[in-house]
Structure 1
């Protein structure tokens, strides 16, 4: 019994390590006056903005949920 509880608890550890992180995809993209690209990742709960020097936004990106706007 103790062994199965220990195994169960050790399986939960990886899930708590990613708490507070979210991966979002398919951003809205626009070019700013300075030539940089503004990427807006949003869903019904979170909105994140990311500015890059590249011409294209990454299709998916991970964010810390505490940094949401």
Structure 2
């Protein structure tokens, strides 16, 4: 019984661990020479860049480990 309680507790706590992701909104857009768009999402802690063929998505989720 104690082992099953520990296993259930471990599963619950693992779901509460930070996922290491952040959703950013309202990027700065810059057209590049090759016709693609450079999207820059930033706040006081993170800066992320994303290149796309069209317009930048208003909201995008990033892994916090990938921050510049």
Q: TM-score range by the shorter chain?
A: 0.7 to 0.9
| Counterparts of 2:41 and 2:17, CA distance in 1 | 24
Runs of 4+ in 1 over 6 A off after TM superposition: none
TM-score by length of 1: 0.76
Note the residue ranges of structure 2 that are not aligned, 5 or more in a row: none
TM-score by length of 2: 0.77
Paired residues, number: 65
CA-atom RMSD in angstroms: 2.0
Note the residue ranges of structure 1 that are not aligned, 5 or more in a row: none
Q: 1:15 — aligned with what?
A: 16
